[in-house]
């Protein structure tokens, strides 16, 4: 499923959560800090990293998103693995010089690590953000939450299974 489809599905789930009583298995998680639900891990890439290298690193780390930064004080955007794969498959020209800055999304929500899962979901759907960068008290990025991660977490939790950690990542 492509990123836009995950985002639309999250909007649908958000409406469902607002319009009905929330499943007892998921209700406790909605008002917890997003940090209690997802781990504090992050892949960070420079904007000049080649797209093929970024894809290799994301696949190696089993990560869907990477934060693109020029320095610790800037967030240029976020790159998702699906975008790289789709571009590489569709490209009719050599992609060896393509850098991540040309593929990243600048439409990114930023939320504090004190935000609840419910707040992150609401802002992500209202802002039509493909993902949300979670920052700590001093404004440093600590991890990325995507609609896919939230949906999979909700589905697993509602099924009665033990929730897994979906935002797997490593410092890159």
Residue 89: the pLDDT is 82
Q: Give percent of the chain above pLDDT 90.
A: 25
Tens-digit pLDDT profile for residues 64-89: 899 999 998 889 999 988 888 888 88
Domains, the chain, in order of start with CATH, read 3-158 (3.10.580.10)
Mean pLDDT value of segment 7-22: 57
Tens-digit pLDDT profile for residues 30-55: 888 888 888 766 899 999 999 989 99
Residue 172: the pLDDT is 33
Whole-prediction pTM: 0.78
Q: Taking the chain, what is the end-to-end CA distance rounded to the nearest angstrom?
A: 25
Q: Which residues, at least 6 apart from 76, have a Cβ–Cβ distance to it below 8 Å?
A: 47, 68, 69, 70, 101, 104, 106
């Amino acid at each position: 499923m492509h990123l836009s489809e995950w985002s639309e599905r999250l909007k649908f789930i958000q409406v469902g959560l607002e319009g009905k009583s929330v499943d007892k298995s998921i209700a406790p998680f909605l008002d917890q800090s997003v940090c209690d639900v997802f781990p504090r891990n992050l892949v960070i890439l420079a904007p000049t990293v080649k797209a093929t290298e970024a894809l290799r690193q994301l696949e190696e780390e089993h990560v869907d998103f990477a934060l693109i930064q020029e320095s610790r004080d800037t967030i240029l955007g976020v790159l998702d693995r699906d975008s790289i794969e789709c571009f590489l498959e569709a490209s009719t020209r050599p992609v060896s010089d393509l850098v991540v800055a040309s593929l990243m999304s600048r439409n990114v929500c930023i939320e504090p690590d004190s935000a609840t899962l419910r707040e992150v979901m609401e802002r992500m759907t209202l802002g039509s953000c493909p993902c949300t960068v979670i920052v700590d008290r001093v404004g440093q990025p600590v991890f990325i939450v995507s609609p896919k991660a939230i949906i999979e977490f909700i589905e697993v939790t509602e099924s009665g299974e033990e929730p897994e950690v979906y935002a797997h990542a490593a410092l890159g």
